[in-house]
Amino acid sequence: MAVEEKRAWIMIVVTVLAYGAYLTVVLGRSGSVPLADQPYAAALLWSVGAAIVASIALHIVVSLISPEDGKVKDQRDREIHRFGEHIGQSFIAIGAVAGMFLAMVEADQFWIANVICLGFVLSALLASMAKIASYRLGFHPW
């Protein structure tokens, strides 16, 4: 498996686990209090921080156990990486525009922060899935 495909799989696993844990913590607290009044900032920062640390650790582990051939990037890897990131950018823009719209209508900070966060999560997932699909199904940049 190519190094960039392994990175894409790591990104999917880490993103799903970190965002899943964040949602579990925030939604688990909601009782009679409205969701927008729940404390979320600490859980959000911890989940992002843990995702970054886990991602770095997994990259190191995968690099150590991979054969030498599986550590080198070439033209195809760079092209697929650019393609995947380009696809994923759309959700960053959608998240930012949604956040801007919510700010304009003076929505609660909870919703602004969470819609932007969701944009980043969907961007990471879409970019990674586009990369994996390119490796598995084919990539013809011409």
Q: Where does this chain bind another protein (CB under 8 A)?
A: 1-2, 69-70, 72-77, 134-135, 137-142
- Residues 55 and 11 sit within 8 Å (Cβ to Cβ): yes
Q: Where is 77: in which H helix or E strand?
A: helix 75-104
For the bound state, the minimum distance from the C-beta of residue 78 to another protein, rounded and expressed in Å, comes to 11
- Residues 38 and 24 sit within 8 Å (Cβ to Cβ): no
For the bound state, the minimum distance from the C-beta of residue 141 to another protein, rounded and expressed in Å, comes to 7
Phi-psi region of 138 (alpha: psi -120 to 50; beta: other; left: phi over 0): left
Looking at beta carbons only, is 88 or 119 nearer to another protein?
88
Tokens read off for 6 = 């392994």
For the bound state, the minimum distance from the C-beta of residue 6 to another protein, rounded and expressed in Å, comes to 11
For the bound state, the minimum distance from the C-beta of residue 10 to another protein, rounded and expressed in Å, comes to 17
Quickly count: other Cβ atoms within 10 Å of residue 117's Cβ.
18
Looking at beta carbons only, is 25 or 133 nearer to another protein?
133
Looking at beta carbons only, is 83 or 111 nearer to another protein?
83
